[in-house]
Structure 1
Amino acid sequence: MIITFLGTGDSMGTPRVYCECEVCEEARETGINRRLRSSLLLEDEGELPLLLDCGPDWREQMEKAGLRGVGRALLTHAHFDHIVGLPEWADACRWTEAPATIHAPREVTGDVLSRFPWLDRQFRFEANDEGTAYGGWRIAPWRVNHGKNGYSYAYRFDHAERGVSWAYCSDSIDLTEGQKAPLAGLSLLVLGTSFAEEPYPMDTRSVYDMKEGLALAEETRPGSVVFTHLSHDVDLRRSYGHPDHVTIAHTGLRLTI
């Protein structure tokens, strides 16, 4: 599977319109830290590309990737930065007469359709609470704490023939032991960490910081870790002293697993 990071930003993206910090100013000038909202493009041999989340930067992400369409997607939860590209994508489906399939847990689909009740004209919504398949991969969602923002879903991908597993957990914090269990035995963990170290009380927060992400990785011991869902606190120009198996994602990063 080829994993492409179409976006690596938090809900505000970088630069933030109101902000003149060093990271936002650099993002405006040279773009090293420019971040669209978090989304992945997944590709496996013999399969159509699979989008993971569809935020407000969907059009720009498709253009940057040279894509004129995509036929399937997974959704993690129904927050603005993960679903608000769906109406634009649906309009593209209408113009091209090519409906797409959205795989999501039932409660996520319910939240999406409560906001955009017309989307089922262009999308086939398929519940994936019990898992779904993508080529030889088995994809299973599980509910995770999203702190003050409620809940999200993470996804685990298992390929039995290749003996490879990886997980995408973009919006989570303070996972319970049960929620950590699917993180065991991973070759790769893609984890949301909005700040290097967030100084605010846990009950006011919604996503791990990188210090906490390192602790989670030390506990669950994946082969490699990629941090995403990054705020303007994270500067790609500096070194954070992470172990060699830990990487900070940048737009366009491609991994093969």
Structure 2
Amino acid sequence: MMTITFRGTGDAMGVPRVYCDCEICSESRAGGVNRRYRSLVQLEAADFGTMMIDCGPDWGKQMEAAGLRFVNRILVTHAHFDHIGGLPEWADACRWLGVKGEAYAPAEVLTEITQRFPWLGRNITFIPIDQPSYFGSWDVSAWKVNHGKNGYAYAFRFDQRESGVSWAYCSDSIGLTEEQQKPLYGLELLVLGTSFYKENFPYETRSVYDVTEALERLPVWKPKRTLFTHLSHDIDLRKTYSIPAHAAFASTGLEVSVGE
């Protein structure tokens, strides 16, 4: 069995926005339920230990909040700052503890990371994951997805060999092609990025699905359960939204389990 813990559920700017006095930002600034660090999940399984997906600029705060002092393996979806801004801090932890961390991502993502932070290789081993990889009883595969005006990202699918259970993490995507949608069919759990409930900016300026668009896709993909993450200051967790019972917004500290 794998336990997935949401350590961050925010979009690129997090919540609150430093410049914003909207109701949601004000509530989160006062320590409310809408306080959101940048998106990151922690994975735990008896047969491979602890792993995280992404390492944004809030990584240190997220580790402190979780009572964690170290993690030695991280999957990276893409090289945007809100997903890799914490890598130097992680590398420094590796240096002080004398442990070399392992960062897994497709080769083109690793190239971008090492070009931006060329010194990280002293304390982190970068391992390409262009082909399916194996962690304990789970097969992990990455595939490229459209990220709108922001280019591309990768999503990860986890398949447990014994049970046949599958789940996927797709935090930054919009306008997926038919080919890019194939790994999302028939999942036990889908974690999908949706920054706004209904995003009214021109489509060509956008980079992530909104909730209404995601809800149109769920009957096609047919996941048993969906959790929305990468949430902006448009989403108010105190509010009741018109979404089906098998879908919900992820919140900080939420734990879910998949597999056997």
Q: Settle same-fold status: TM greater than 0.5.
A: yes
Distance in 1 of aligned mates of 2:49 and 2:123:
18
Deviation per residue, 1:169-225 (Å, 9 max, x gap)? 000000000000111120110000000000012111000000011111121110000
Residue aligning to 1:134? 135
Residue aligning to 2:10? 9
Q: Secondary structure at the match of 1:252?
A: coil
Matching residue's letter, 2:184: L
Matching residue's letter, 1:4: T
Residue identity (%): 57
Q: Secondary structure at the match of 1:218?
A: helix
Residue aligning to 1:219? 220
**1:19 pairs with 2:20:** yes
Residue aligning to 1:231? 232
Kindly indicate whether the alpha-carbon contact (under 8 Å) linking 1:48 and 1:71 is maintained by their aligned counterparts in 2. no
Kindly indicate whether the alpha-carbon contact (under 8 Å) linking 2:47 and 2:137 is maintained by their aligned counterparts in 1. no
Residue aligning to 1:194? 195
Distance in 1 of aligned mates of 2:231 and 2:77:
17
Q: Secondary structure at the match of 1:118?
A: helix
Kindly indicate whether the alpha-carbon contact (under 8 Å) linking 2:131 and 2:141 is maintained by their aligned counterparts in 1. yes
Distance in 1 of aligned mates of 2:59 and 2:14:
13
Kindly indicate whether the alpha-carbon contact (under 8 Å) linking 1:48 and 1:70 is maintained by their aligned counterparts in 2. no
Distance in 1 of aligned mates of 2:107 and 2:87:
17
Distance in 1 of aligned mates of 2:247 and 2:94:
38
Q: Secondary structure at the match of 2:113?
A: helix
1:134, distance to aligned residue in structure 2 (A): 1.5
Residue aligning to 2:70? 69
Q: Secondary structure at the match of 2:226?
A: strand
1:13, distance to aligned residue in structure 2 (A): 0.3
Distance in 2 of aligned mates of 1:49 and 1:152:
23
Count of paired positions: 257
Distance in 2 of aligned mates of 1:181 and 1:65:
34
Q: Secondary structure at the match of 2:118?
A: coil
Matching residue's letter, 2:149: K
Distance in 2 of aligned mates of 1:234 and 1:169:
18
**1:105 pairs with 2:106:** yes
Residue aligning to 1:254? 255
Matching residue's letter, 1:35: R
Which deviates further from its counterpart, 40-49 or 54-63?
40-49
Q: Give matches, 1:33-72, under 5 Å.
A: 33-72=34-73
1:31, distance to aligned residue in structure 2 (A): 1.9
Matching residue's letter, 1:133: Y
Residue aligning to 1:156? 157
Distance in 2 of aligned mates of 1:48 and 1:118:
27
Residue aligning to 1:178? 179
Query: What are structure 2's unaligned runs of at least 5 residues?
Result: none
Deviation per residue, 1:46-97 (Å, 9 max, x gap)? 3220010000000011111111100101000000000010000000100010
Matching residue's letter, 2:39: S
Q: TM-score, normalised by structure 1?
A: 0.99
Runs of 4+ in 1 over 2 A off after TM superposition: none
Matching residue's letter, 2:63: M
Distance in 2 of aligned mates of 1:82 and 1:166:
20
Matching residue's letter, 1:28: R
Distance in 1 of aligned mates of 2:101 and 2:49:
11
Kindly indicate whether the alpha-carbon contact (under 8 Å) linking 1:42 and 1:51 is maintained by their aligned counterparts in 2. yes
Residue aligning to 1:168? 169
Matching residue's letter, 2:92: D
Residue aligning to 2:244? 243
